[in-house]
Structure 1
Amino acid sequence: MSRAIYAVGDTIKLKPNILRRGEATSTCQIIGILPIDHGEAQYRVRLGNETFERRILASEIETREAEVLQPVGKTPSSIRIRK
């Protein structure tokens, strides 16, 4: 069962889909946390300058792990082996 891992006020980025094709408006703010439905956390969000709120599922959010695994400006470390 997926539990809520984001809090009210967090800014998140949504995964692109047929309606959101990597637009700049895919960044939104969490307005509320909704009850878990069918084993997945739900959130109420507001995108950019929209005047209405949307309901999204946790699976529609770009994961924080992706940001942590690929930090900006860092190169992966390598192992050097002598011959």
Structure 2
Amino acid sequence: MGRPNYKVGDMIVLKSGLTRTAKTDKRCRIASILPNDHGHVQYRVQFAAENFERRITEADIDAGESPSSASPEAVAKTDNAAPWLTFSSIKIRK
């Protein structure tokens, strides 16, 4: 339960009752993965018709309608990824 099952850019479907009306589209795109909150994976998602992001947990996603795209091997690779800034690559001029 502590590992994310989805990655940034995936389209997911939220469970019923999380959006204001039943007529709204429950499909949204994952914008970022947030730190775990007491063992629950959190995501920041955005609907196509909205200009703001929402915070949801893994329990808010309808797993039956949302394909799980991140395999455990892919998640393990992203956990050990190198940082985008390495201090050895910084050159200081004198």
Q: Quick one: structure 1 residues 8 and 18, their matched pair in 2 at CA, closer, same or farther if it must change by over 3 Å?
A: closer
Unaligned runs of 5+ in 1: 68-83
Aligned runs of 1:2-81 on 2, under 5 Å?
2-17=2-17, 19-63=19-63, 66-67=64-65
* Distance apart, 1:17 and its partner CA: 1.3
**AA matched with 1:46:** Q
Q: TM-score, normalised by structure 1?
A: 0.68
Q: TM-score, normalised by structure 2?
A: 0.61
**AA matched with 1:43:** Y
**AA matched with 1:47:** F
RMSD: 2.0
Q: Quick one: structure 1 residues 3 and 23, their matched pair in 2 at CA, closer, same or farther if it must change by over 3 Å?
A: farther
Indicate the structure with greater strand content: 1
* Distance apart, 1:22 and its partner CA: 4.0
> Does the aligned pair in 1 maintain the 2:19–2:26 contact within 8 Å?
no
**In structure 1, distance between residues paired with 2:53 and 2:8:** 13
